[in-house]
Amino acid sequence: MTQINLASMSALGQAKARQTSHDALFDCPELHGVPMPFRRNAEIYGEGEPADYVYKVLSGSVRSYKVLGDGRRQIIGFHLPGDILGLDCEAEHSCSAEAIADCQVLLVRRTTLLNVAEHDIDVARSLWTSTALHLKRAHEHSLLLIKSAQERLAAFLLDIAHRLSVKNEVDLPMSRQDIADYLGLTIETVSRTFTQLSEASVIEFLASRRILVRNPAMLAEMNG
């Protein structure tokens, strides 16, 4: 019987996810899925489009987001290898998704997944736990959006570092604009706050998207 691996979907467990990538949702033989490449900035799906597929990131990274009429954009989350996206319960996607960099994504037909879930209790359970975990993350994101700019960036750095740092070094896949739209700030404020953290020796810039976390404890303290 396939073991559900909660860690594979938790915000703090991504690194492990790539090693022990086993969750019933995509490991079930009936749900092998089709790998598909997406180019940088290519749309994977759009808000309001039929939600025919569920996706799993194999390599690269993906952003999911919603936009307002005047173009303001809120990035809902960043999806790294091992992450699942597109799990809407309605017939249409409630947000859009784009490739941040060239990436490989596994596609499974939604109807297939739901049919399998009708018989395979592991898949059904995994479907629910995955969605519930996304819900938990969404609630944490809401909490983030009432914090100060410094607190938001600290929270972001802690999260992303847990997910893909190697020896406290992080290679950010996303632009400053993406970070700004995720944190509900402007690109200028993100840049300035990065500079402050750097001046306080909490982090160090090896390159504009390559960060060394010098003082994780201080980051955690800033997070509130």
Partner DNA sequence: CGTCTTCTTGAGCCACTTCAAGGTAAGTGG
Partner DNA sequence: CCACTTACCTTGAAGTGGCTCAAGAAGACG
Query: Contact residues for its own copies (CB under 8 A)?
Result: 6, 66, 68-70, 72, 74, 76, 87-90, 94-95, 117-118, 121, 124-125, 127-129, 131-136, 138-143, 145-147, 184, 224
Of the two residues 62 and 76, which places its CB atom closer to its own copies in the complex?
Answer: 76
Compute the Cα dihedral for 96, 68, 224, 191 and give only its sign. positive
Of the two residues 113 and 211, which places its CB atom closer to DNA in the complex?
Answer: 211
Cα Rg, the chain, nearest whole Å = 18
Nearest distance from C-beta of residue 110 to DNA, angstroms? 31
Contact partner, 207, from its own copies, DNA, none, Cβ < 5-8 Å per class? DNA
Q: Is the distance from CB of 106 to CB of 34 less than 8 angstroms?
A: yes
Contact partner, 63, from its own copies, DNA, none, Cβ < 5-8 Å per class? none
* CA-wise closest residue to 209 among 219, 222, 194: 194
Contact partner, 121, from its own copies, DNA, none, Cβ < 5-8 Å per class? its own copies
Of the two residues 31 and 197, which places its CB atom closer to DNA in the complex?
Answer: 197
Compute the Cα dihedral for 124, 130, 136, 142 and give only its sign. negative
Nearest distance from C-beta of residue 175 to DNA, angstroms? 3
Q: What percent helix, strand, coil does the chain show, rounded to 5?
A: 40, 25, 35
Compute the Cα dihedral for 81, 84, 179, 11 and give only its sign. negative
Tokens of 162: 């847990």
Contact string 123-162 vs DNA (x = CB under 7 A): -------------------------xxx------------
Of the two residues 39 and 209, which places its CB atom closer to DNA in the complex?
Answer: 209
Give the helix ranges, DSSP H, for 92-215: 110-119, 121-144, 149-164, 176-183, 187-199
Pairing of strands 53-59, 169-171: unpaired
From residue 70, how far is each of 67, 105, 124 by CA, in Å? Answer: 8, 30, 39
Nearest distance from C-beta of residue 39 to its own copies, angstroms? 25
Contact string 170-209 vs DNA (x = CB under 7 A): -----xxx------xxxxxxxxx-xx---------x-xxx
Report the interface residues with DNA, using CB under 7 A.
148-150, 175-177, 184-192, 194-195, 205, 207-209
